[in-house]
Amino acid sequence: MDELGHAQYRAAYWPDAEPVDGQYGTPAPDWLDEAAAVRMEGQAARAQYERSFFAALRTASPAILPLAQFLTQTHPVVAQRQALMQSSRVQTQSGIQVMTMSGDGALSASLFYAQSMLFADFLEQTSRKPHILGTISEAIAGGVDFESWLADTGAAHGLPSDIAALQTAWDTWCTTHPGGAHAPAG
């Protein structure tokens, strides 16, 4: 279902964009693209992402990045694929390659999905605007980066106007969220 989410998100905000090497789904930042896709998954998958995220947060997993890094992070699948291609230089005649992830790579990808989903929930709940991801996506599709959008219009949407203040609000949200009660601030 989440691959359908990527396709619908692309059609809504970047219908004419050509795929860009090094990007996972759309021209959006990878966290935003993944948030749009993961949120299309069922309740069971969402609950699993939530459980894994808050369990990792409680253990201070390095896979949960501070927002300054998370918001600019390359999708873990893309990062691993790029590293694999550089190290192996393997090419196939068809151009089709299959990659599996395990260990730390799989954990990083899973927690990236989880953090993307929960960060989207945080933005909606904090702004009290159920369509805030659409507002952000429209700005980004128009050429504005997230940090600039936040500085220019974050306060108008009930959000902090810089990443440091957003981090503080995110940390508070995580520790007060029912799934994250008593989790240390990231």
List, for residues 92-148, the tens digit of each pLDDT value: 555 545 444 444 556 778 899 999 999 999 999 999 999 999 999 999 999 999 999
In tens, the pLDDT along 7-24 reads 888 888 988 887 666 566
Q: What is the mean pLDDT of the chain?
A: 83
pTM given for the model: 0.81
Among 105, 78, 92, 98, residue whose Cα is nearest residue 19: 78
Among 111, 103, 102, 105, residue whose Cα is nearest residue 56: 111
- Its sign, for the CA torsion 159, 162, 168, 174, is positive
Q: How many helices (H) and strands (E) does the chain have?
A: 9, 0
Q: Which amino acid is at 133?
A: L
